[in-house]
Chains A and B, each alone.
Chain A
Amino acid sequence: MNLLDKSYDVIVVGAGPAGTVAARFAAEQGVDVLVLEKDRDVGYPVRCAEAISKRNVVKFIEPNDKWIAAKINRFEFVAPNGNSVSMDLEDESGYVLERRIFDYELGLLASQAGAKILTRVYVNGLILEGNKVCGVKAEYRGKQYEIKSKVVIAADGVESRVGRWAGIKTHIDFREMESCFQVTAGNLENIDPKTLYFYLGSNYAPNGYFWVFPKGKNIANVGLGVSGDTGKKRSALSFLNDNLQKLYPAASILTQIAGGVPCALTLERISGDGILLAGDAARQVNPLTGGGIGSGMEGGSIAGRIAGEAVRKGDLSLLENYRDEWMKIRGKNHLIFDKLKDGVFNMRDEQFNAICEKMQKIPKNKRTLGKLFMTALAKQPKLLVEVAKVYMV
């Protein structure tokens, strides 16, 4: 394969949102970039509930109806006792994507910026000189290749092995892994196509939440995640089957998928000699919501830009600035979200019920996410200060 017989300035492993955005930002610096993806297609399979805020989209790609399944203007939280509280948002505050097309378009943008992409390439090792990463080893259609590069960006998602081969401990504590199962279901009744639904409590999803994210009329991504602690006793699949049976017995199932979200803080080390980690691989997921599309693109853009600059200026020591930049732009907020996660996901069912009741008393036009957390954490003043930092309430 021609593409694999050359050497590159930057090799990106993984063509998810983090990888393709990294590739684009690196290529825009005028350096040679190759993206390697093990799956057959960029964008498929989709292991994601596909919700993202508009703010996070427009920073990296212009919104386009061909990959927008739903435009969101409302959140609804359902308490364990079935009571619910909704919160109106600005029109088109967020989207439920068609990631199959969205990820593909991000790949196209990377190509247009000059990056090369090849699917079906399984990266199975690094070329190392001492501790220095000098490229990747990969299998393509039964043949083994060694492809040299000045920088490797590991955007290989939740499974993230590439970093390990460079000596970075990327494996995640099983208690922080949200193991998920999701279906895209049709024939769902009483679903507003502009509302994201979050179900809380031990019946629906202990230490996590059960989501119903619409993708049009009567159709939605329906799924949940459970942490490894819960997983010891019961799997995500078994919870999902129960929830579906209870809420949507008449649903028809159009897709089924398993997946993992590393709901943890960004790794202590996300760079090494000749290597940067981005997206899920660097644990750049929002630890509270599990949202990783926007933050993955953010991490990828920083990694790509820094890698491009480092090559262009011939100074690979610039790679060391990566973590600081990430922390400044987004990582510091994740520290706060991580504390909130501990506060919220350890709540008992009665507490959720009580919070819901209190929120119902606040006039609808005054309900905000900030208020929600204020109510939820009324007895935890330290956390409240943190909430204020994120939501400016």
Chain B
Amino acid sequence: MNAKEYRMAKTGKLMIEILPDKCDFCGCCVGVCPEDAIELKEAEIFIIDENCTNCSKCIWACPIEVIRFNKEGVLKTR
């Protein structure tokens, strides 16, 4: 499934995943996240699971399509 198809997916129980090795650490996702659910350091990023509501706004805001739904609900972080 490509990033676009992920975007079409229903939120359900799916989790949000960031591909940290492809992330540019620009902060767009953090800026739009209503739940303060993203931690962004100098070159490190991850979702704070307990806060995330799967609203997918971060996905729409990412300029380079490196956030997506993760089918397994497993979060890969650096």
Q: Which residues from chain A sit less than 8 Å from chain B, CB to CB?
A: 38-40, 47, 120, 122, 124, 157-161, 164, 171-174, 177, 179-181, 226, 228-229, 231-232, 235-238, 257-260, 262
Q: Collect the chain B residues with CB atoms within 8 Å of residue A257's CB.
A: 24, 26
**Which residue of chain A lies nearest to B40 when distances are taken between CB atoms in the complex?**
A159
Q: Collect the chain A residues with CB atoms within 8 Å of residue B27's CB.
A: 157-159, 259-260
Does B26 contact A177, Cβ atoms closer than 8 Å? no
Known: A124-B39, A232-B7, A237-B63. 14 other contacts (CB 8 A): A39-B42, A122-B42, A159-B30, A174-B61, A179-B62, A179-B63, A181-B64, A231-B60, A235-B62, A258-B26, A258-B62, A259-B27, A260-B31, A262-B31
**B32 an interface residue at 8 Å Cβ cutoff?**
yes
Q: Collect the chain A residues with CB atoms within 8 Å of residue B9's CB.
A: none
In the assembled complex, the Cα of A55 lies from the Cα of B42 at a distance in Å of 32
Q: Collect the chain B residues with CB atoms within 8 Å of residue A171's CB.
A: 31-34, 36
In the assembled complex, the Cα of A229 lies from the Cα of B60 at a distance in Å of 8
**Which residue of chain B lies nearest to A180 when distances are taken between CB atoms in the complex?**
B63
Q: Collect the chain A residues with CB atoms within 8 Å of residue B42's CB.
A: 38-40, 120, 122
Does B65 contact A237, Cβ atoms closer than 8 Å? yes
**Which residue of chain A lies nearest to B8 when distances are taken between CB atoms in the complex?**
A232
Q: How far is the CB of B56 from chain A (nearest CB, A)?
A: 9
7 A-B residue contacts at CB 8 Å? A122-B41, A172-B32, A177-B28, A181-B64, A228-B32, A235-B64, A260-B31
**Which residue of chain B lies nearest to A119 when distances are taken between CB atoms in the complex?**
B42
Does A231 contact B36, Cβ atoms closer than 8 Å? no
In the assembled complex, the Cα of A164 lies from the Cα of B34 at a distance in Å of 10
**Which residue of chain A lies nearest to B55 when distances are taken between CB atoms in the complex?**
A174
Q: How many interface contacts (CB-CB < 8 Å) are there between A and B?
A: 88
Q: How far is the CB of B63 from chain A (nearest CB, A)?
A: 4
Choose from B26, B32, B34, B62 the contact partner of A47 (Cβ within 8 Å).
B26
User: With A161-B36, A172-B31, A174-B32 given, is the CB distance from A258 to B41 under 8 Å?
Assistant: no
Q: How far is the CB of B53 from chain A (nearest CB, A)?
A: 13
**Which residue of chain A lies nearest to B65 when distances are taken between CB atoms in the complex?**
A235
Lowest 6 A-B CB distances belong to which pairs? A159-B27, A260-B28, A159-B30, A258-B26, A258-B24, A236-B63
Q: Collect the chain B residues with CB atoms within 8 Å of residue A259's CB.
A: 26-28, 63
Choose from A174, A181, A229, A232 the contact partner of B63 (Cβ within 8 Å).
A181
Does A158 contact B28, Cβ atoms closer than 8 Å? yes
Q: How far is the CB of B22 from chain A (nearest CB, A)?
A: 10
Encode B38-54 as 1/0 by CB contact (under 8 A) with A: 01111000000000000
Q: How far is the CB of A101 from chain B (nearest CB, A)?
A: 20
Does B41 contact A38, Cβ atoms closer than 8 Å? yes
In the assembled complex, the Cα of A160 lies from the Cα of B28 at a distance in Å of 10
Q: Collect the chain A residues with CB atoms within 8 Å of residue B61's CB.
A: 174, 177, 179, 228, 231, 260
Q: Collect the chain A residues with CB atoms within 8 Å of residue B7's CB.
A: 232
**Which residue of chain A lies nearest to B3 when distances are taken between CB atoms in the complex?**
A235
Choose from B26, B40, B60 the contact partner of A174 (Cβ within 8 Å).
B60
Q: Collect the chain A residues with CB atoms within 8 Å of residue B10's CB.
A: none
Q: Collect the chain A residues with CB atoms within 8 Å of residue B57's CB.
A: 174, 228
Q: Collect the chain B residues with CB atoms within 8 Å of residue A174's CB.
A: 32, 57, 60-61
**Which residue of chain B lies nearest to A39 when distances are taken between CB atoms in the complex?**
B42
Choose from A120, A160, A229, A232 the contact partner of B31 (Cβ within 8 Å).
A160
Residue among A40, A179, A226 having the largest count of chain B Cβ atoms under 10 Å: A179
User: With A39-B42, A159-B27 given, is the CB distance from A258 to B63 under 8 Å?
Assistant: yes
Q: How far is the CB of A287 from chain B (nearest CB, A)?
A: 15
**Which residue of chain B lies nearest to A257 when distances are taken between CB atoms in the complex?**
B24
In the assembled complex, the Cα of A174 lies from the Cα of B29 at a distance in Å of 9
Q: Collect the chain B residues with CB atoms within 8 Å of residue A40's CB.
A: 42
Does B30 contact A161, Cβ atoms closer than 8 Å? yes
**Which residue of chain A lies nearest to B34 when distances are taken between CB atoms in the complex?**
A171
Q: Collect the chain B residues with CB atoms within 8 Å of residue A173's CB.
A: 32
Q: How far is the CB of B59 from chain A (nearest CB, A)?
A: 8
In the assembled complex, the Cα of A180 lies from the Cα of B36 at a distance in Å of 21
Q: How far is the CB of A210 from chain B (nearest CB, A)?
A: 14
In the assembled complex, the Cα of A229 lies from the Cα of B32 at a distance in Å of 12
Residue among A39, A122, A161 having the largest count of chain B Cβ atoms under 10 Å: A161
Does B31 contact A177, Cβ atoms closer than 8 Å? yes
Q: Collect the chain A residues with CB atoms within 8 Å of residue B30's CB.
A: 158-161
Q: How far is the CB of A263 from chain B (nearest CB, A)?
A: 11
